[in-house]
Amino acid sequence: MSENERPTPFGPGFVAAAIVIAAVITCGLIVLLADGSSPTTNLSNPEIKAPSVTPVATSSRSGCSLPAGDQAVPAAAPAVDGWEVSRRVVVPRSAAFGPGVVDSDGFRRCFAHSPTGAVFAAYNVLAALGDPTKATATARKLLLPGPETDELLRTTESSSTTSEPTQLAGYRVLAASRDQVTVTLAVPVETQYMSLTVTMVWHDHDWRLQPPSSGAAIGAPFAQLRNLADFVKWSGL
């Protein structure tokens, strides 16, 4: 167990997850940081594995014709063309890695078919979840189709929230293959950090978010981080 990370459970459902994550990235998770009695867990433990998914059709180019590019895991902060505020979250932009398309509702999509493209997409996952008023539309565009996503859509409803722009602090790739990449993201919370983990799956020429199993929250397991050791520091504005 690592002293750097502390797990915290959250409630089920897409809307609950979206609100929790939006609260984390905009207001900070004060309760998590205040609770020093929680047991610790080590997200770098090799026993923690990415969720398995059914293989899907692959393509060497994304749906918006971005070259797949280098298939190495980005061990250093990727180069960007700029950082932008999307749904109150600061996200990276690159002509090489995406997003290649920004929809009229602000949803960012079309990323390169590579681990680096998946990291760009993972950062944009939090931006997508940063506006619960678009929960249903976001779920349809963001999540990998399947029974878990169908279940979330049946219980999804919109809510409202306002906040100041915020940004992630860094990432750590836990596992990477041609069509599936699991990334832990670090979010600043006052003087420390919180982490959440997402698995991106290549589907229909773009990266989609693997939905959680029934009863789990998007981004779980959550953990408190004392510092960014073992993370690639990557932030913008």
Share of the chain above pLDDT 90, in %: 36
| Whole-number pLDDT of residue 137 | 80
pLDDT of 163-200, one tens digit each?
455 789 999 999 999 999 999 999 888 788 889 999 99
* Residue 161, CA distances (Å) to 30, 33, 67, 90, 153 in order: 18, 22, 37, 17, 20
| pLDDT-derived band at 216, boundaries 50, 70, 90 | confident
d(CA 231, CA 153): 33
* 96 C-beta neighbours (distance < 10 Å), count: 18
- Residue 116, pLDDT score: 97
Average pLDDT over residues 115-124: 96
110 vs 217, higher pLDDT = 110
Question: How do residues 128-170 score in pLDDT, each as one tens digit?
Answer: 877 777 777 888 889 888 877 777 666 655 445 544 557 899 9
Strands 101-102 and 166-167, how do they pair? Answer: unpaired
Provide the pairing of β-strand 166-167 with 89-93: parallel
Between CA 185 and CA 43 the distance in angstroms is: 11
Contacts for 189 with CB less than 8 Å, ≥ 6 apart: 24, 28, 29, 30, 32, 33, 224
Task: Output the CA torsion sign for 14, 20, 24, 26.
Answer: positive
With 50 as the cut, is the pLDDT of residue 36 above it?
no
CB 50 within 8 A of CB 90: no
**Rounded Cα–Cα distance for residues 21 and 230 (Å):** 22
For tokens 């190495």, what's the residue?
A: 72
CB 128, CB 186: distance < 8 Å: no
Average pLDDT of the chain to the nearest whole number: 74
pTM of the model: 0.75
Position 125 scores a pLDDT of 87
What is the band of 23 on the pLDDT scale with cuts at 50, 70, 90? low
pLDDT for 221 beyond 70? yes
Span 53-72, mean pLDDT? 60
Lowest mean per-residue pLDDT among 22-31, 159-168, 194-203, 228-237: 22-31
**What sign does the dihedral 19-25-30-36 (CA atoms) show?**
positive
Distance from C-alpha of 151 to C-alpha of 195, rounded to nearest angstrom: 25
The closest of 228, 154, 221, 161 to 189, measured between CA atoms, is: 228
pLDDT of residue 236: 85
Separation between Cα atoms, residue 119 and residue 140, nearest integer Å: 20
The reply to whether omega before 115 is within 30° of 0 (cis) is no
